[in-house]
Amino acid sequence: MKNITTYQNKKVLVFGLAKSGFSAAKLLHNLGALVTVNDGKPFEENPQAQDLLTEGIKVITGSHPLELLDEEFSLIVKNPGIPYTHPFIERALQRQIPVITEVELAYEISDAPIIGITGTNGKTTTTTMIGECLNAGMEKGVARLSGNIGFPASEVAQEVSAQDRLVMELSSFQLMGITAFHPHIAVVTNLYEAHLDYHGTREDYVKAKWEMQKNMTPEDYLVLNFNQEELRRLAKKTRATVVPFSTQEVVAGAYVQEGIMYYQHEEIMPVSQLGVPGAHNIENALAAIVVAKLQNIETQAIVNALRHFSGVKHRTQYLGEIEGVRVYNDSKATNILATQMALGGFENSTLVLLAGGLDRGNEFDALIPSLEGIKAIVVFGETKDKLIRAAKKAGISTIIETENVETAVPVAFELATEGDTILLSPANASWDQYPNFEIRGDRFIAAVQAVKNK
C-alpha cells in the first residue's frame, strides 16, 4: 500500500455506508483524515456505524442534514448507489465540493497495477475468468478480485503488492466518481441500455462507462467487444492501445474461427471445451484471453483455467448432474436480455426452463424467438400469466404454473428425462418473492440438493 499523505488533517465526508463506505471510512481514518460518516440507517440498526464510532470516527445516522455541508469538507466519498440527483449531493456539487467513489481511493493507494472490467452484462463472469486465468499462470504475485464483485476495492488495495494484480469490476455508478483513476488494462464487455432510472439517458450511461479510459495512455490496453458497432466507434476516441475481441470475424486480438478461439492467430482452445455454456460466455472468455495474453500468461495455463471454469454463482452456474439431467442456476438473469443470452447456450429441445418474478409492467414478446422449441417451461411469481402467454405464442406444448422457485424444482425434474437440462433463468427481478436474486438462487440450489438427497 502506498503511504500517501494527501488526506492528512483533511475533513472528508463518507456519504452512505454499505461495504464500500465502511471500507473507505476506515482507510481515510488510517490515512490521517478527519472523517465524518453520514448514513441514512438509524444508529441502533447500523452495526457498521457503531463499529466506526468505536474507532473514533464521527458518525451521523438516520438522515442526511444539509447543514452538514457547513463543515467545509475538502472531499465527499459517495456510496455508488446514491444518485447524483440526491439533494445533499446536488447541494455539495453546487458548493464545488469534489465527490468521488471509493475506487478512486483504491487507485491512489494500490501498489499493484489495475485491470478494470466494465460493461452492461458479463462483468462479474469476465472479472472472475480473468482472475482465474492470471492465477493459473502468474509466476510471482496473485490476482485479487475487487470492486463491484463484492470485495471493496479500497480494502483489497491495502493488501496487494507490486507483484500482484488488482482485478476490479466497475459499475457505471462507481466510474462516475473517478478523477485520476488509471487502469493499465481496461475491458468493456458490451454496452446495452441499462440503469436509465439512475443515469437519465442512454448517452449518459455510456459516458459513465467510457470514463474508465479517460486517463489511459498508449502504454495502456483497452479491450473492446468489436461485435458491437458502438464500441468500434468509441475505439477511435481513446489514447489507449485498443485490443479487440469478436465472435463474428477475425480481429487483431481474440476471435473465434470454425469453433476455435484464437489470439492473434495462435490457437487457444475449442469453444466446445469452455467450462460454461452460452454465446455470451464465449465473448467473456475472449476478453479474458486477451488480458491473460497481455499479462504474458502461457496458453496452457489459460486453457486449464477456462476449461475448468464452472461459472460464477447465480450466473449460468453449473450445479451438476442428477440422474442424467444437468442443472444450471442463472438467477442473476433479472431481465429479458439476460435470459435470451442464457438460452443461446442450450439446445432448446432438451431444455426445461424455470422463469418468473416481479411484474414491472412489460410483456415478454421479445423473448418468444428464444423460447421456440423448448421442451417445457415452469412459471412462477407475479409474471407467470404473461410468461404463459409468451410460451403459448412460442409454441411450447408443456407449460406448468407453480408457486415459486422451490416448488418449481420438483416439477422440473418430473418433466426432465436423461439427457435434458434444467435451467433457472427467470427473466425477472426477484423482489415479488425474494429479497434479491442471490437468495432466489440459493433457494433454487437448496431445492435441487433436496431432490438429489431423496
Domain count, the chain: 3
Specify if 133 maps to a domain. yes
Specify if 340 maps to a domain. yes
Helix H or strand E encompassing 415: helix 405-415
The pLDDT value recorded for residue 11 is 98
**Cβ(326)–Cβ(419) under 8 Å?**
no
CA nearest 320: which of 375, 352, 275, 279? 275
Specify if 1 maps to a domain. no
Q: What are 425's three cell numbers? A: 433463468
The pLDDT value recorded for residue 252 is 97
Dump pLDDT digits (tens) for 83-97. 999 999 999 999 999
Identity of the residue numbered 54: T
CA distance 106 to 152: 9
Regarding whether 259 and 390 lie in a shared domain, the answer is: no
User: What end-to-end distance do the CA atoms of the chain give, in Å?
Assistant: 51
Regarding whether 258 and 128 lie in a shared domain, the answer is: yes
pLDDT value at 141 more than 90: yes
Residue showing cell 470516527: 57
Regarding whether 192 and 174 lie in a shared domain, the answer is: yes
Specify if 5 maps to a domain. no
Q: At what angle do helices 18-30 and 102-109 cross, to 10 degrees?
A: 40
Regarding whether 380 and 299 lie in a shared domain, the answer is: no
CA nearest 145: which of 161, 158, 133, 130? 130
317-322: strand order across its sheet: 317-322, 325-329, 421-424, 351-356, 376-380, 399-401
Residue 453 marked as a ligand binder = no
Residue 362 marked as a ligand binder = no
**Cβ(354)–Cβ(426) under 8 Å?**
yes
Regarding whether 295 and 405 lie in a shared domain, the answer is: no
Mean pLDDT of the chain: 95
Residue 124 marked as a ligand binder = yes
Q: What is the mean pLDDT of residues 434-440?
A: 96
CA distance 338 to 124: 13
Give residue 327's Cα distance to chain centre. Answer: 22
Q: What are 168's three cell numbers? A: 476490479
Residue 120 marked as a ligand binder = yes
Regarding whether 345 and 300 lie in a shared domain, the answer is: no
Specify if 2 maps to a domain. no
Dump pLDDT digits (tens) for 201-231. 889 999 999 999 999 999 999 999 999 999 9
The pLDDT value recorded for residue 348 is 96
Phi-psi group of 296: left, alpha or beta (phi > 0 → left; psi -120 to 50 → alpha; rest → beta): left
Regarding whether 253 and 322 lie in a shared domain, the answer is: no
For the CA atoms of 67, 73, 77, 79, the dihedral, rounded to the nearest 10 degrees, stands at 0
CA nearest 362: which of 392, 344, 387? 387
Q: Give the DSSP letter string of 333-354.
A: --SHHHHHHHHTTS-GGGEEEE
Residue 125 marked as a ligand binder = yes
**Cβ(356)–Cβ(387) under 8 Å?**
yes
Q: What is the mean pLDDT of residues 251-276?
A: 96
Q: What are 197's three cell numbers? A: 432510472
pLDDT class of 347 with cuts at 50, 70, 90: very high
Identity of the residue numbered 172: S
Asked which of 288, 307, 326 is the last residue of a domain, the reply is: 307
Regarding whether 339 and 266 lie in a shared domain, the answer is: no
The pLDDT value recorded for residue 277 is 84
Give the CATH number of the domain where residue 303 resides. Answer: 3.40.1190.10
The pLDDT value recorded for residue 344 is 87
The pLDDT value recorded for residue 28 is 97
Give the CATH number of the domain where residue 94 resides. Answer: 3.40.50.720
CA distance 53 to 59: 6
Specify if 210 maps to a domain. yes
More confident site: 313 or 214: 214
pLDDT value at 313 more than 90: no
Regarding whether 108 and 93 lie in a shared domain, the answer is: no
Residue 328 bridge partners (DSSP):
318, 423
The pLDDT value recorded for residue 195 is 73
CA nearest 416: which of 372, 378, 373, 363? 378
Regarding whether 188 and 116 lie in a shared domain, the answer is: yes
Calculate what percentage of the chain has a pLDDT beyond 90: 90
Q: Where are the beta strands (DSSP E) in 97-142?
A: 99-100, 114-118
Residue showing cell 495474453: 293
Give the CATH number of the domain where residue 393 resides. Answer: 3.90.190.20
- In the DSSP assignment, the letter for residue 137 is H
Q: Give the DSSP letter string of 169-185.
A: E--HHHHTT-SS---SE
Q: What is the mean pLDDT of residues 38-53?
A: 96
Domain span at residue 401 reads 317-453
Asked which of 284, 307, 330 is the last residue of a domain, the reply is: 307
Q: Give the DSSP letter string of 369-408.
A: HHHTT-SEEEEESTTHHHHHHHHHHTT-S-EEE-SSHHHH
10 Å CB burial of residue 51 (0-12, 13-18, 19+) is middle
Regarding whether 268 and 231 lie in a shared domain, the answer is: yes
pLDDT class of 262 with cuts at 50, 70, 90: very high
The pLDDT value recorded for residue 279 is 85
Regarding whether 217 and 275 lie in a shared domain, the answer is: yes
Calculate what percentage of the chain has a pLDDT beyond 70: 100
- Using CA atoms, how far residue 354 sits from 392, 394, 407, 422, in Å, is 15, 15, 11, 8
Asked which of 47, 67, 100 is the last residue of a domain, the reply is: 100
